[in-house]
Structure 1
Amino acid sequence: MKSKLRLVVAVATFFMCPFVVKAQVDLGIKAGLSIPNLTSGNSSNPINSGYSSRLGLDAGVHAEFHLTKRFSIQPELRYSSQGGKKDKGQAFPPTPELAAGFQAQGIPVPQYVYADYKSVAKFNYLMIPVLAKYHFGFSPKWDLYVAAGPFVSFLLNGKQEMSGTSPIFLDPAHTQPVTPPQDFNRTQDIKNDLKKANWGIDGHIGLAYHLNSRSAIFVEGGGNYGFVKIQKDKTNGENNTGAGVVVLGYSFRICDKKK
């Protein structure tokens, strides 16, 4: 862990150095609530649909380079919770055992089967946004601002937590059971089923209160959306990540603009 922290500090210092001599620089830390969900776009894959939002953590650090009185550039390093949940109506490809049972009975193996159980998809990413930030600055103490820009993110882990019991059905209306009730209480590691990287757009609106000339506390609300379909295999779905985010933070000026 210490070696990883040193690497992060070294990389941040490398990128900061060209700006430090030319701009005011603030360092900030923030943490709060991520409210992610998985969207399916126009896909007809039944695995994609039915997700609702779950709750998770969003936390990170940033460096803000003030290029003018109003405009700044803010790279960030964030832990971002993504995913979603389903309360019922799950669709999934038949297991090899189910497929063999269908074949033994002379029934064509369906592309999907269905069951009623709860599942929560939890994906956590290391997100690196680079935001353009505009300050309205309507008083010496208060600062209203907006920020937006692209991000890249890298998958840290991925799992699916399932709970409940249900027969497995042949149809989405759950009128044709093909098994007795099954136990779905388990957690699956699905990291290897997901693409390792994502990219998209991130943004927020914020309000800061300046405690003095060098430090401030702030609250931000915004969100992010990933443009990459996260599953490697379309059989497992074709979803995009996205989340609403609300955070509290603290910033401190480490460098004033050189004269």
Structure 2
Amino acid sequence: MKNLILFSMALILSFLTVQAQDVQFGAKAGLNFAILQPDLNDPATRTAVHLGAVAEISILEKLSIQPELLFSTQGVKDESDNDEIVRLDYLTLPILAKLYLTENLSIEVGPQIGLLLKAEVEDDGETIDIKDDTKSTDFGIALGLGYKMDSGLNFGARYTLGSNVNDIDEDPDKFANRVFQLFVGYIFN
């Protein structure tokens, strides 16, 4: 199933690139406010960062496809357990349909695939690698709002709902990434 989704996304991207009327490239960076759901005992968001490259492929006058390639730091902070911090670093590939409501204001929605780069827990000053206990791929959906100025400067907010990242067979708990992002970027004209 995962291979089918990956193949479909690659096929759609290649088709859209060929059919696109206009392609613009850019960069973006911002803050992540991440948590794992369902709630731990006393969870707090982990404030972290994301940064990377974007492309905006114009399909129709008010519709674009926006693939991105981002380094995204996620996880959670559990304040009930001596400030335990779960750090999950991903290389994410959101592919968003971007509908312009006005000339500059847009809504965006689409799938996101995250490839796990690093997973660790810090507890009482000790860091433990948990990559073997964490799924290597996180499939999710993203929904956001953006504003692009005529100069190419853009900013916005996005919420991403990920899938279960727990990869321990005997553990019935399911933990999914939930990430609220604020970002600023620049599209080169």
**TM-score, length of structure 1 as denominator length:** 0.64
Tell me the amino acid that sits aligned with residue 76 of structure 2.
G
Tell me the residue number matched to 2:165.
230
Deviation of residue 26 (structure 1)? Answer: 0.9
Once the two structures are superposed, the pairs formed by residues 97-246 of structure 1 within 5 Å of their partners are 117-138=82-103, 143-163=104-124, 185-211=125-151, 216-227=152-163, 229-233=164-168, 234-235=170-171, 237-246=173-182
Q: C-alpha distance in 2, partners of 1:36/1:63?
A: 24
Q: C-alpha distance in 2, partners of 1:203/1:60?
A: 18
> Does the 8 A contact of 1:84 with 1:120 survive in 2?
yes
Consecutive unaligned residues of structure 1, counting only runs of 5 or more, are 1-11, 42-47, 91-116, 164-184, 254-259
Cα distance, 1:236–1:59 mapped onto 2, change above 3 Å:
farther
Deviation of residue 71 (structure 1)? Answer: 0.5
Q: 1:57 aligns with which of 49, 55, 71?
A: 49
Cα distance, 1:20–1:236 mapped onto 2, change above 3 Å:
same
What secondary structure, in the 3-state scheme, does the structure 1 residue paired with 2:132 have?
A: helix
Tell me the amino acid that sits aligned with residue 191 of structure 1.
K
> Does the 8 A contact of 1:25 with 1:66 survive in 2?
yes
Once the two structures are superposed, the pairs formed by residues 23-62 of structure 1 within 5 Å of their partners are 23-40=21-38, 48-62=40-54
> Which is strand-richer, 1 or 2?
2
Q: Deviations over 1:100-130 (max 9, x none)?
A: xxxxxxxxxxxxxxxxx22000001111111
Tell me the amino acid that sits aligned with residue 121 of structure 1.
V
Q: C-alpha distance in 1, partners of 2:75/2:128?
A: 14
> What RMSD in Å do the two structures reach over aligned CA positions?
2.0
When Rg is computed on C-alpha atoms for both structures, the one with the higher figure is 1
Q: C-alpha distance in 2, partners of 1:239/1:221?
A: 23
**TM-score, length of structure 2 as denominator length:** 0.86
Q: C-alpha distance in 2, partners of 1:241/1:27?
A: 28
Aligned-residue sequence identity (percent) comes to 27
Q: C-alpha distance in 2, partners of 1:160/1:245?
A: 22
Tell me the residue number matched to 1:247.
183
